[in-house]
Structure 1
């Protein structure tokens, strides 16, 4: 019954504030779901979070790579695409601007259901992504 948000590092001016978190949690509660957030400080921790998610088996994931997108492109050996392919839950990428998008990858099994980019407005990106996730989950029992 959980939707996991996995967040990479962001510039200080682009924070995931408590008001946004409360809003997302309220929207999820109204739909009979909960939101869990895992914040990561770098690429390795983000990849570890993806692998951890496989074991925790959330129903849905919102992935916000933040500033790691460029690092992941420069270091494909780090295993980001393999970790994404290992996810069992559907996911949506959430971005504040197109510079942080992970871009197409050599996905073997699963690409994102959607990629949401609202330039300059991360809060709206999250609200749209959560709305899509909740609509997708409506057909599943709580």
Structure 2
């Protein structure tokens, strides 16, 4: 599952990129579900409602919500991340992290940051996730 927040610039998942990600997953015998969230509450709710076995791995791309999660820890993102029962990878197009002061005990398996190249960030993150799932 890919959960993405709003991006400051253009939408991060174009049709072409989405098709490419779905093909990568399909080649590995997996499927990809995309959830686009426009606000922090919706993003936190998506993270909280992810359940195994339907969701085996998450790619979390908070976009502009990373900064909001640091300003509003009461929104519960760190608690939601701590409660996850599956691994996740954070995908960033910048230097903002979702963790407020490193308070999360259940950190990401990896954080992929490629400034200005969101498609590569997603492809690398999905490649890591698929490799972990096949291990």
Q: TM-score, length-normalised on structure 2?
A: 0.92
Equivalence map 1:84-99=2 (5 Å): 84-98=81-95
Q: Displacement of 1:105 after TM fit?
A: 2.5
Q: Displacement of 1:14 after TM fit?
A: 4.1
Cα-Cα RMSD: 1.5
Q: Is 1:129 matched with 2:121?
A: no
Matched pairs, number? 134
Q: Distance in 1 between matches of 2:115 and 2:5?
A: 17
Q: Is the 8 A contact 1:91 1:113 kept in 2?
A: yes
Match of 2:16 in 1: 19
Tell me the SS of whatever aligns to 1:105: coil
1:10-65 deviation line (CA, Å, top 9, x unaligned): 12424310100000000000000000000000100000000111377411100000
Is there any run of 5+ residues in structure 1 with no aligned partner, and where? Answer: none
The structure where strand makes up a greater share of residues is 1
Tell me the SS of whatever aligns to 1:15: coil
Q: TM-score, length-normalised on structure 1?
A: 0.88
Q: Distance in 2 between matches of 1:84 and 1:15?
A: 22
Is there any run of 5+ residues in structure 2 with no aligned partner, and where? Answer: none
Q: Is the 8 A contact 2:52 2:86 kept in 1?
A: no
Q: Distance in 2 between matches of 1:125 and 1:27?
A: 14
1:48-105 deviation line (CA, Å, top 9, x unaligned): 000111377411100000101111111111101000111111000001121x332453
4+ long deviations beyond 6 Å: none
For residue 101 of structure 1, the aligned residue among 97, 100, 112 is 97
